[in-house]
Amino acid sequence: MMWAAVRWGALRKPNGSDGWLRDSWRVLLFTLIAAPFVIPPAIVISIALLLFLVFEFILWLPLKLAQMARIRLGKPVAKTDVKDVNLPRLGRRPRSTEGECQDTR
């Protein structure tokens, strides 16, 4: 299955289609076998992530509005009271190495 995915991905790279026709029947065969097992969970996960993004945005909006109102009203704000409120977004986040176990041998 991974081999077929790599062959599909090769089509997007320069010279990636070299020899692709020779392997195409096997790529299609593996794709057709794997598709019923891969596509339904991928759809469910994508929908769940989209719903989570919407839910997160619904909770983010009043926090951002409250922060903006407090700043406009000139309320004294201690540095520890102000936290950055980031807009929810789809995409990958950089991997954090903080808190990971380190080999100390």
pLDDT higher at 76 or 89: 89
Q: What does the pLDDT read at residue 93?
A: 63
Instruction: Kindly tell me if the per-residue pLDDT of 37 is higher than 80.
Output: yes
105 located within any domain: no
88 belongs to a structural domain: no
Host domain of residue 8: 2-72
Quick check: is 100 in a domain?
A: no
**Residues 49 and 90 sit within 8 Å (Cβ to Cβ):** yes
> What CA–CA distance (Å, rounded) separates 60 from 64?
6
Residue 97 lies in a domain: no
Establish if 86 belongs to a structural domain.
Answer: no
Q: Residue 91 — pLDDT band, cuts 50, 70, 90? A: confident
Q: How confident is the model at residue 57 (pLDDT cuts 50, 70, 90)?
A: very high
Domain count, the chain: 1
- Calculate the CA 59 to chain-centre distance: 19
User: Residue 27 has what DSSP assignment?
Assistant: H
Give domain status of residue 66, yes or no: yes
Q: Is 45 within a domain? A: yes
Mean pLDDT of 2-7: 84
62 domain residue, yes or no = yes
Confidence of residue 85 (pLDDT cuts 50, 70, 90): low
